[in-house]
Amino acid sequence: MNFTQRGESRLRNGKYHEAFFDFSKCIEIEPKMIPVYNFRAKTRGLLKDYKGAIEDYLIVLSDKPDHGQALYEIGITYFMTTKWKKEKTHLEKLKNLEFKKLQKY
């Protein structure tokens, strides 16, 4: 089992600190594994590290600007930090995506 798989398993089982370690280790080994940033962002949000979660979601969105899940999650994360005005930009972009395109994620 590699770091990503173990991190996903730990994330599903509520072991957020351990999952964060696994995802971070994977990124350290292979920094271009963009999907892992999405997992780590989700984990950071669950650990209430909203600033770190936003940083990771922005990395995902810099690679894939129409990533529906990342747009949704960063919007929720901005909301959790009460940065509503900034969050509105991402939710507007998400709203403008075609429904079929969004379903792919």
Q: Looking at residue 72, which CATH number applies to its domain? A: 1.25.40.10
Cβ atoms 94, 75 nearer than 8 A:
yes
Domain tally for the chain?
1
Are the beta carbons of 61 and 71 closer than 8 angstroms? yes
Q: What is the separation of C-alpha 95 from the centre of its chain, rounded to a whole number of angstroms?
A: 18
Contact between residue 23 and residue 7 where contact means Cβ atoms under 8 Å apart: yes
Which pTM does this prediction carry?
Answer: 0.77
Range of the domain at 12: 3-103
pLDDT in tens, 4-47: 999 999 999 999 999 999 999 999 999 999 999 999 999 999 99
